[in-house]
Structure 1
Amino acid sequence: MSTMTNTISIKNLVDTAAADGSFKTFGKAIEHAGMSDTLRGAGPFTIFAPTDAAFEKLPAGQLDNLFKPENKDELVSLLNYHLVSGRKSIADVGKWEAARTVNGQPAPITMTNDKVSIDGALVTSADIGSSNGVLHGIDKVNIPTKM
Structure 2
Amino acid sequence: MKAADNGMSTSTAATATGAGVMVGGAMMTPDKDIVDNAAGSADHTTLVAAVKAAGLVETLKSAGPFTVFAPSNAAFDKLPAGTVNSLVTPEMKPTLTKILTYHVVPGSLTAANLTDGQVLTTVQGEKLTVMKSATGVMIKDAKGGMATVTTADVISKNGVTHVIDTVLMPAQ
Structure 1 length as normaliser, TM-score?
0.91
1:136 aligned partner, one-letter code: H
Corresponding residue number in structure 2 for 1:43: 64
Conserved 8 A contact 1:82-1:101: yes
Shift of 1:95: 4.6
Structure 1 residues not aligned, in runs of 5+ = none
Q: Which residue in 2 is equivalent to 1:133?
A: 159
The answer as to whether partners of 1:93 and 1:99 remain within 8 angstroms in 2 is no
1:106 partnered with 2:127: yes
The percent identity for this pair of structures is: 41
- Residue 44 of structure 2 aligns with an amino acid whose one-letter code is F
- The one of the two structures with greater contact order (alpha-carbon pairs below 8 A, sep at least 6) is 1
Q: Which amino acid aligns with 1:139?
A: D
State whether residues 47 and 84 of structure 1, in contact with CA within 8 Å, keep that contact through their aligned partners in structure 2. Answer: yes
Structure 2: distance between partners of 1:113 and 1:131: 29
Give SS of 2:40's match: helix
- Cα offset, 1:19, TM superposition: 1.7
Alpha-carbon distance between aligned partners in 2 of 1:92 and 1:105, rounded to the nearest angstrom: 20
**Structure 2 equivalent of residue 60 of structure 1:** 81
Gaps of 5+ in 2: 1-11, 19-28, 141-145
Shift in Å, 1:9: 1.3
Deviations 1:39-97 (A, max 9, x none): 01111101000001101100001111111101101101000110000111011123552
Task: Note if 1:76 corresponds to 2:97.
Answer: yes
Match of 2:143? none
147, 154, 158: which one aligns with 1:121 = 147
- Deviation of 1:23 after TM superposition, in Å, equals 1.1
Give 3-state SS (helix, strand or coil) of 2:37's partner: helix
Structure ID, larger Rg: 2
Q: Report what 2:34 is aligned to.
A: 13
Q: Distance in 1 between matches of 2:155 and 2:39?
A: 13
Q: For residue 10 of structure 1, what is the amino acid of its counterpart?
A: D
Residue identity opposite 1:76 in structure 2 = T
The partner residue of 2:55 within 20, 34, 37 is 34
**TM-score of the superposition, structure 2-length normalised?**
0.79
Is the contact made by 2:116 and 2:133 (CA closer than 8 Å) also made in structure 1?
Answer: no
Question: For 2:164 and 2:115, how far apart are their aligned partners in 1?
Answer: 14
Aligned residues: 144
CA distance in 2, matches of 1:116, 1:94: 9
Secondary structure at the aligned position of 1:72 is classed as helix
Specify which structure has the higher proportion of helix: 1
